[in-house]
Structure 1
Amino acid sequence: MLKTCLSDGRYLDFVQLICEVACRAIRNPSKIKWARDWAELLTCSERFKKCLSSSAVPFSYVRGAVAEATEHGDWLLVDEINLASSECLDALMNLLEDSYHKHPKFRLFACMNPVTDIGKKNLPLSVRSRFTEIFIRETRDAEQLGVIVRTYLPSIQPTRLCSVLNLYEALCHKYPGKYSLRSLCRALSFASDNFFGSDLRSLQEAIEMSFLTDLNLESRTTVLELIHKYLGKKTDSAIPPPDYVAGKYINVENYYIRRGTNEPQDDPLYVRTPSVRKNLAQLSRVVCSGRYPVLLEGETSTGKTAMVIHLAKISGNTVIRINNHEHTDLQEYIGSYAPDRNGKLIFMEGALLKAMKAGYWVILDELNLAASDVIEALNRLLDDNRELYVSELNTTVRAHQSFRLFATQNPAGSYAGRKRLSRALLNRFVILRFDHLPFSELSQMVVAS
């Protein structure tokens, strides 16, 4: 009977049958141990029946992650706690009151960056005093770093391990505050995938991607010399194609990009000068990794957005461009509730959420024009787990394997309204610096067009 009601679209009858079955089960003494489950089913069914029988919006109160954790005895981690609003901090402090009923196994943890970084606020003393503080420094101990390297690259040779550690120490000493342990781990993770046919070539490409791109020309030359000193120069041999199904990858400047669902198209109007080809190769190297977000930084008209659109076009990927401004709201990324054609209130997914599910490419244009709290809300998506919590739906959305995130911005302070982003946020991106084309290449573009 239930199956018949569903197939015929008689949803009200379907819910009514469930209610009757639940009522009988609750009254049955032999099913007393299941009475609570049947009661919850009856409550949900009655609520849904009211929604079906009228024009009411099917909203209900849903307990959040904090309430669930306190009831079930979970461990709750509040990340970037010094970015939270005063109201949010007050709600968290209520959990620590003795009068608040908590599961005995419930534990509360919090993380924060020092307030020396941009956008980070001091925690109120009334909040800070409730925590036991542990300051965690970034390790520089060679033995601990060696354990990290061997975790990512178990078969690395001892001499090469020493070379990697010496290179990392030299780079951190040469450019203090520029690199972090995340930079090293990102390089090791990329090298462990061995996209480039040999362990050494993969390590060289990974180190260059993680340590070389966010530099001016002079510093880039210095870092490249250090990489050559400790790891040697890269060979000019072609990178072998991926050992997968033929036709699934596109060769772009000797890096293999996974094809999208669209048919790859030629882009004859896009002129590849030597500088453009060098930038395109750096971008393709990051994209072929399949998971790292990219921030393209440069002056106006240096071809940042155009290059991402070009790469998406020739690889058959759909690209969505989101223009940021000082009034950009998180709802523009994720979505919000809005009426449909029939006047029903439904959740309309934002461009970013749609792209995450469908596996599209997204360009967050003029990133440093958006408010800091909007950008920081994307931290979870920028991390390795590549997921986003949607509070309106009380669910976590994990990104499709083909999803790629790009962002563009002008240098902070060079134009009105461009803010300096926090080091913690920037460190989550692979940053590519774009300079203006040399005059000789401008004439080449004019002739080609």
Structure 2
Amino acid sequence: MTVRDQAMAIRNTFNLDVPVEVLTAGFSDINNPFIPKRNDGYVFRRETLRDILSFLDDPDGDGLYFSGHYGAGKTTLPYQVASRLNWPVQSFTAHSRMEFDDLVGTWKLVNGSMEFVYGPLSIAMRDGHLFILNEIDRADPGQLAALHDVLEGHPLVIATNGGEIIHAHENFRFIVNGNSLGSGDSTGLYQGVNQLDIAFLDRFRMVEVDYPTEDVELMILEQKTPELPEEIRRNMVRVANQIRRLFIGGEESATPLTVTMSTRTLCRWAKLSLSFRNAPNALAYALKQSLTAKAEPEQRIAIEQIAKDVFGSNWTQGDTQ
């Protein structure tokens, strides 16, 4: 893989209102099969984009750790950045049974003979890809300890492959995400979240990702469902934000929810409302398929009441045409 050989204007590349002379660097090769699929409807947020571009330009020996509630956008961001910079990605989703060999590689039977099959971390270090480890706080901290040397800038030594040594390519970057900041789940919302070793966490820049602002989500909905009346879209965003406040415990007098409305779910609600626009009470029917069908009965009632309060008479008579 070559060096980052393509200057790109942030204004045009990420559709942000910044001076056109503000640049970042990407790759001119658009044919690498590991470049993530681009979502043209994705809306970048200035602050989080600034953080990841600063890291990509000069990691200075650090990894980058995105934390936040599910549906806040922490997972999608690096993939969408990579898709626009033509930066190939290797990724893995951590789980409680993950072993270091899952990342490095192992011997497997291929076409009748044993071959060493490289894992995503080995490929990323060798070829200069981004390595994204999703849900890092669900991994066994003991297995993560094996990553210390890599994060310190040392080469990867693959003992099981004859002691092969892989030196990190200059374009290699290490990015992780999780629902917690690595100190365990104090909210009780996420099962299986582990407390990570402080020495491991010390090797990362930490970025907390909140849910998008109302203006950003309105832009997203406008791109996804331009046929939906603006007032309907605005009310949908208001409903989403009230649900999120209950989910994260922002209202002490209310019973917290154990489900929330991600931006993905919000877009699903909007699109289904258009699909069912000729059905009675299309908004409620679409909300059920999008979110409330997976909620406990009392929480379903609470969410529906939020929507009724926000939409008022339009909840049953609203025009989605």
Q: Which residue of 2 aligns with 1:256?
A: 24
Greater Cα radius of gyration, structure 1 or 2: 1
TM-score in terms of structure 1 length: 0.42
Find out whether 1:316 has 2:86 as its counterpart.
Answer: yes
SS in 1 for 2:160: coil
Contact 1:302 1:435 in 2 (8 A): yes
Contact 1:368 1:409 in 2 (8 A): yes
Contact 1:252 1:281 in 2 (8 A): no
Would you say how many aligned residue pairs link Structure 1 and Structure 2? 200
Q: Which residue of 2 aligns with 1:282?
A: 51
Q: Which residue of 2 aligns with 1:210?
A: none
Moved over 4 A (4+): 263-267
Q: Which residue of 2 aligns with 1:298?
A: 68
Contact 2:4 2:25 in 1 (8 A): no
Alignment deviations for residues 346-382 of structure 1 (CA, whole Å, 9 cap, x no partner)? 2221121112111111110000111111111000111
- The 2-side partners of 1:246 and 1:397 are apart by 20
TM-score in terms of structure 2 length: 0.57
1:313 CA displacement = 0.6
Find out whether 1:409 has 2:178 as its counterpart.
Answer: yes
- The 1-side partners of 2:201 and 2:28 are apart by 28
Q: Which residue of 1 aligns with 2:311?
A: none
Q: Which residue of 2 aligns with 1:441?
A: 216
Task: Specify the code of the residue in structure 1 equivalent to 2:179.
Answer: N
Q: Which residue of 2 aligns with 1:329?
A: 99
SS in 2 for 1:448: helix
Q: Which residue of 2 aligns with 1:395?
A: 164
Contact 1:257 1:284 in 2 (8 A): no
One of 333, 344, 361 as aligned partner of 2:130: 361
Contact 1:369 1:419 in 2 (8 A): yes
- The 2-side partners of 1:427 and 1:298 are apart by 18
5 Å-filtered alignment, 1:56-95, equals: none
- The 2-side partners of 1:366 and 1:255 are apart by 31
RCO higher in structure (CA 8 A, sep ≥6)? 2
- The 2-side partners of 1:428 and 1:246 are apart by 24
SS in 2 for 1:308: helix
Contact 1:255 1:284 in 2 (8 A): no
- The 2-side partners of 1:246 and 1:351 are apart by 21
Mark the CA change 1:260 to 1:437 in structure 2 (over 3 Å): closer, same or farther. Answer: same
- Identical amino acids, percent of aligned pairs: 20
- The 2-side partners of 1:365 and 1:246 are apart by 25
Find out whether 1:424 has 2:199 as its counterpart.
Answer: yes
- The 2-side partners of 1:439 and 1:255 are apart by 28
SS in 2 for 1:333: helix
Report the RMSD for the aligned CA atoms in angstroms: 2.3
Contact 1:305 1:363 in 2 (8 A): no
* Bigger proportion of residues as helix: 1
1:267 CA displacement = 4.6
Mark the CA change 1:340 to 1:325 in structure 2 (over 3 Å): closer, same or farther. Answer: same
- The 2-side partners of 1:281 and 1:250 are apart by 14
Contact 2:4 2:26 in 1 (8 A): no
- The 2-side partners of 1:445 and 1:422 are apart by 37
- The 1-side partners of 2:115 and 2:215 are apart by 55
1:255 CA displacement = 5.2
